[in-house]
A and B are shown apart, each in its own frame.
Chain A
C-alpha cells in the first residue's frame, strides 16, 4: 500500500498509468465521484497553443480569428508574459484531458486529479451541463462543422463563408437559449438532420420552379401586430436563432452556418455560468486526492510540498488594492467555499447552524457536496452557500459607484451583521450571466413595410452599449438580415435613450 507512485520529477507512461489508477481509486472509493470515461493525452507547448486558439477544442472549423488569437498567444508566450495552462479539459465523453509534457510527475498527478476527476465529475453531474450540452456528440458535431464549413468554402468561396461566420461570431453571445423547455440538445441527431436536409434539397431541386411566375402574395397588412409577433416567435433574445429561421434572404448553407455557431455557443454557455463552481470542485477534488495519496505514503513529502506550493499559487486571492488584483479568483473563491461547506457539515458553529440549518452538522461531506455540485450554478451557489465566516475571511465589502454622486464611491455594505446578506446578494449577482450580458432582443419586424428589424436593448443601471462596437455588430446583423436594422436602447420605464439604424452593406457581385 505504501509503494511510492514515483520518485523525483520524471515520469513516463507507466508512471502516468499508475498515477491515474491511484487517483481513480481515491476518487471512486473515498469521494464517490461519478465520471465519464477518461482519456488523457500528453501534448507539447505548441500543441497547447494550438488548442488555446480554437477555444480548447481538439478540432474546429477554420477561421481567421483563431489565427489572430494564436498569433496573440504565441507572442505573449514567447515573451514570457504568459505561462501556459497545465491542462485543458474538454466536456466530452470520453472526457479528454490534455497534459503538458513539461509538467513534473507531481504536476501530472495534480492535473489528472484536477481535470480527469474534478472537472469530469462536474461536467457529468451538474444540471446545466446535463441540460445544455451533449458530451457524447460534441466531438462528432465539431467534426461535422469543420467539414461542413470546408465544403461551403469549396462551393461558395472563402470570402462569402468568412463574411457569414464573421457576422455569426459577432452575435455569438446572443445566440443562446437561456431557458430550457425545448428538448435536450442531441448533436448527433443534429448532424444527421443537417445531412438529410441537404440531401433532400438536392433531390427535390428543380430549376423549373424558378421560372414559374409567382402569384400575388396575400396581403399581410391585415394581420395584427400581436399575431405577427406571435408568428415570428417574438420577442426573441436568441438573435442567431431568429435570423436562421426568419431572415428573408439567407441561403440555406448560411442558415446552417448560423446554426453551427449557435450550437457551439450553446455548448459553452454552461461553462461561463459555472466558473467558480467548476474550478472550486476541481480544486477541492485534487486537494482531497493529493492529501489522501500523501497520507497513504504514495507521495513523498517533497512531492507533496511541491504540490502545496503550486496549489497555494492557484488559490491565491489578492486584495482589492493589490497590484495583482483583477477581480475574484474563481479558484480561490470556489475552493474556499467547498472547504467551508466541509467545515459546516462536520464542525458547525452556532452561526452556521443558524444560517445553514439544512446541512450544518450533517456529517456526510461528500453527500452534501455532490448534491451542491449537481444542482447549482455560480449565482445560486453563492447566494445559497457563501457563509458569514468566509465573508469575514475575505473581508468583503460592497461598493456602489453612481456617476451622479459627487461625493465619490459609496461603501454600501461590509462584512458585518448588517451587511452579510447584502454583500452576498451582490456578489451572487456579479456572477449572474443574465445580469452581465447586455439584454438584447428582437421585438418586431415591419414585414408589410420596409422590413426593418427592430431590436431592443434593455438598459440596466444606466449602462449603455459601447458605441463603436455596437455599430459594428449591428452592421453584421444588418448584413445577415439584408434590410435595415434599428437598435433602440430603452430603460426600465420604456424611455428611449438612444437609437441606432444600420443599413446592410451591398454584397459585392460574385467574381
Chain B
C-alpha cells in the first residue's frame, strides 16, 4: 500500500482569514471600544503596532446547554490516605479552570491579537475627514492600464487568438473556402472512379477547389486582431498637512511631545485617506521658518511669540507650492496659547481672509503642562482670539490637551462622523 506524502507548506496560508474577518465584523463595536481603551495607554510609536486586546465575551458567546450543580461523583487518581467513609471538608468552590473560547459565563473576557492594519483600521474607522470634495488628477504614479477592445495592429504578445480565429472562420464561410472534408471526399471519389471522363471532370473540380483554397488563406492577415490597452489616468486625491508649532521658550518638552503625538495621528489618518500626503513643518517664535521634522521637534529656538508670522509663512507656502484647487489642505497648530497682544488683530485677519478659506480643516490644539487641568486655567490670549473667530462663524476646531492620554479622545472627538456630532448637538 503506497503512502502518499504531500508537502502542504507552500499552500497559500491565511485560510482562516475570512473567518477572522467575519468575527471582527461581528465584534466590531466591542473591539473598537477595546482598541480605543488600549490606545490611550500606548505610546504614539506603538499605536500602529497592533497587539492584544480584550473584549467582553457577551454577544460573541456561543451558548450550549450546560449542566451545573447537583450531586457530583468523581473518580480521581492519587489517593494517599483516604479510606472508605472518610469526609473531606469542602474548600470553597475548588479552583476555577481555564475556560476555552466561548465557554464560561458572559463576564469572561476574550483576549486576542490584532494585526497592525486591523488595529489602525478599527481605531480610525468611525472617523471621517471633513470635506473630501477637492480632487486633483495628479500627473504622476496614477496611470492605470485598462482593456479597451481590439485593434488591427499591435505586438505579437497581444494577439487575441479567439477573436482572430473567429474572424477567420467568418471570412472563410463567407468566401466559401472549400473545407478539408470536401477535398478529401473528392479525392476519394477520384480514387474510386473508373470512368475516364467523369474522372477528368472530378480532377478538374478538385484542381479548382484547391486553387480556391490557396487563394483564400486559412488565416489572413486581415483577420488578426490584437488586444488593445489604454492607459487611464487614475484620480489620486492628494493632501498636504501643515504642522504649525510655537517653539518659544514657554513651550516645554512635554507640550511638544503632546503636539507631536497629535501630528502623528493626523498623519496616519490622512495617509489612510489620501494616496499622497505631504507634510510641511512650520515653527515659529516671533518669526516663522519652514524646517525639517527633526529641527521642528528638537531644534533649539528662543524668542518671543508672534503667531501671525507662522500664518503668514503658511499662506506663502500655499501660494507658491500648493494650489488649493489641486490640494486638500489640512493644518494643525499647536501652541501653549501665548501670543503678543498686538499680534492678535493681524493673526485673526490672516486666518479668516487667507488661510481658512483654502483649508479643508484647521485644528488648534492648546497644550498645557502635565497635571494642570487645562480647563481650570483662564483662557489664553490665542484661545480667546480663536474663540472669537469661531463665534464669527469661522470653521475652526479647537481643543485643550494637557495629558498624553487625552490626545486620542481629543483626536477622535475632532474627526467624529458628522451625524453623531449633530445628534449630540440636537438635544
The 8 A CB mask of B54-95 against A (1 = contact, 0 = none) is 000000111111111111111111111011111111100000
Q: Which of chain B's residues have a CB closer than 8 A to the CB of A346?
A: none
Residues 85-124 of B, flagged 1 when their CB comes within 8 A of A and 0 if not, give 1111110000001001110011000111100000000000
Instruction: State how many angstroms separate the Cβ of A53 from the closest Cβ of chain B.
Output: 5
Given A416-B84, A463-B67, A71-B23 contact (CB < 8 Å) = yes
Number of interface residues of B (CB under 8 A): 65
- Interface stretch (choices B1-9, B151-159, B288-296, B303-311): B1-9
Q: Kindly state whether residue B146 has any CB partner on chain A within 8 Å.
A: no
Contact with B along A97-131 (1 / 0, CB 8 A): 01001000000000000001000000000000000
- Taking a contact as CB atoms under 8 Å apart, the answer to whether B71 and A396 are in contact is no
* Minimum C-beta distance from B12 to chain A (A): 10
Asked if B67 and A42 sit within 8 Å, CB to CB, the answer is no
Query: B22 in the interface, Cβ–Cβ < 8 Å?
Result: yes
Whether B110 and A72, one on each chain, are in contact in the complex, defined by CB atoms closer than 8 angstroms, is yes
When C-beta atoms are compared, the residue in chain B nearest to A464 turns out to be B69
On whether the beta carbons of A400 and B73 are closer than 8 Å, the reply is: yes
Within 8 A of B (CB), among A228-279: none
| Other-chain contact of B62, A53, A65, A101, A418 (Cβ < 8 Å) | A65
Contacts of B85 in A (CB 8 A): 410-411
Q: Known contacts A39-B4, A42-B7, A399-B88: does B69 contact A67 (CB below 8 Å)?
A: no
Tell me how far the C-beta of A203 lies from the nearest C-beta in chain B, rounded to whole angstroms: 33
Tell me if B5 and A17 are in contact (CB < 8 A).
yes
Interface bits A157-170 vs B (CB < 8 Å: 1, else 0): 00000100010011
- Interface status of A448 (Cβ within 8 A of chain B): no
Q: Are A462 and B83 in contact (CB under 8 A)?
A: no
List the one stretch of B13-21, B175-183, B403-411 in contact with chain A: B13-21
Residues of B within 8 A of A328 (CB): 75, 77
Q: Given the complex, which residues of A lie within 8 Å of B75, measured CB to CB?
A: 328, 396-399, 423, 426-427, 430
For residue B11, CB closer than 8 A to chain A, the reply is yes
Asked if B52 CB lies within 8 Å of chain A CBs, one says: yes
Residue of A nearest to B6 (CB): A41
Asked if A320 contacts B76 (CB within 8 A), the reply is yes
Contact A321 B83 (CB under 8 A): no
CA distance A190 to B222 in the complex (A): 55
B79 near A65 with CB under 8 A, answer no
Contact A50 B6 (CB under 8 A): no
Q: CB < 8 Å: which of A35, A401, A412, A463 contacts B84? A: A412
**Contact between A462 and B84, CB atoms less than 8 A apart:** no
- Residue contact A461 to B3, C-beta cutoff 8 Å: no
Contact A411 B87 (CB under 8 A): yes
Are A426 and B3 in touch, CB under 8 angstroms? no
- Contacts A47-B9, A411-B82 given; indicate if A463 touches B16 (C-beta within 8 A): no
Residues of A within 8 A of B16 (CB): 49-50, 53-54, 66-67, 70
User: Contact at A461–B71, with CB atoms within 8 Å?
Assistant: yes
Residues B66 and A469 in contact, CB atoms below 8 Å apart:
yes
Q: Quick one: closest B residue to A457, CB to CB? A: B65
Q: Type the 1/0 row for A55-73, where 1 means its CB is closer than 8 Å to any CB of B.
A: 0000000111111111111
Given the complex, which residues of B lie within 8 Å of A16, measured CB to CB?
5
Q: Indicate if the CB atoms of B72 and A401 lie closer than 8 Å.
A: yes
Count of A residues near B, CB < 8 Å? 101
> Closest CB-CB distance, B89 to chain A, in whole Å?
5
Chain B residues near A462: list those with CB within 8 A: 69-71
Assess the A464–B67 pair: CB atoms within 8 A. yes
Whether the Cβ atoms of A321 and B78 lie closer than 8 Å is yes
Alpha-carbon gap, A426 to B66, bound state (A): 21
Say whether B77 contacts A317, CB under 8 Å.
Answer: yes
CB-defined contacts of B112 to chain A, threshold 8 Å:
71-72, 74-75
- Report the minimum CB–CB distance from B87 to chain A (whole Å): 4
Q: Does B24 lie at the interface of the complex (its beta carbon under 8 Å from any beta carbon of A)? A: yes
A426 to B75: give the CA distance in the assembly, Å: 7
A411 touching B65, Cβ below 8 Å = no
The segment from A211-219, A296-304, A370-378, A470-478 that touches chain B is A470-478
Is chain A's binding surface mostly helix, strand, loop or mixed? mixed
Cα A178 to Cα B20 in complex, Å, equals: 33
Q: A41-B6, A466-B66, A472-B61 are in contact. Are A75 and B77 (CB under 8 A)?
A: no
B351 to chain A, nearest CB (A): 46
Nearest residue, chain A, Cβ from B74: A399
Q: Is the CB of B4 within 8 A of A94?
A: yes
Task: Tell me how far the C-beta of A3 lies from the nearest C-beta in chain B, rounded to whole angstroms.
Answer: 19
A40 in the interface, Cβ–Cβ < 8 Å?
yes
Asked whether any CB of chain B lies closer than 8 Å to the CB of A402, the reply is yes
- Tell me which of B14, B27, B74, B101 contacts A401 (CB under 8 A): B74
Chain A residue nearest in CB terms to B9:
A44
- CB of A508 closer than 8 Å to a CB of B: no
Bound: A64/B23 CA distance, A? 4
**CB–CB A408/B82 < 8 A:** no
Interchain CB contact under 8 A, B26 and A64? yes
Query: 1/0 contact trace for A419-463 toward B, CB 8 Å?
Result: 100010011011000000110100000000000000001011111
Q: Are A464 and B68 CB-contacts (below 8 A) given A63-B22, A66-B19, A74-B113? A: yes
> What residues on B are CB-neighbors of A98 within 8 Å?
8
Are B87 and A410 closer than 8 Å at their CB atoms? yes
Q: Looking at the assembled complex, report how far the CB atom of A332 sits from the nearest CB atom of chain B, in whole angstroms.
A: 9
Q: What per-residue 1/0 map shows which CB atoms of A322-336 lie under 8 Å from chain B?
A: 100110100000000
If A40-B5, A397-B79 touch, whether A466 touches B68 (CB-CB below 8 Å) is yes
A62 touches B84 (CB 8 A): no
Cβ of A43 and Cβ of B9 under 8 Å apart?
A: yes
Nearest opposing residue in chain A for B25, CB measure: A64
Residue of B nearest to A475 (CB): B63
Contacts A64-B23, A66-B16 given; does A463 touch B68 at CB 8 Å: yes
For the A-B complex with A320-B78, A419-B84, A430-B74 known, give 11 more contacts whose Cβ atoms are closer than 8 Å. Answer: A13-B5, A38-B1, A67-B23, A71-B112, A400-B72, A412-B84, A438-B66, A462-B71, A463-B69, A466-B68, A473-B63
Sample of 12 A–B contacts (CB below 8 Å): A37-B4, A41-B5, A43-B9, A62-B18, A64-B22, A68-B23, A72-B112, A325-B78, A395-B78, A397-B82, A403-B69, A470-B65
Measuring CB to CB, which residues of chain A are less than 8 angstroms from any residue of chain B? 13, 16-17, 20-21, 24, 35, 37-44, 46-47, 49-50, 53-54, 62-75, 78, 94, 98, 101, 116, 162, 166, 169-170, 172-174, 317-322, 325-326, 328, 394-403, 407-416, 418-419, 423, 426-427, 429-430, 437-438, 440, 457, 459-466, 468-470, 472-473, 476
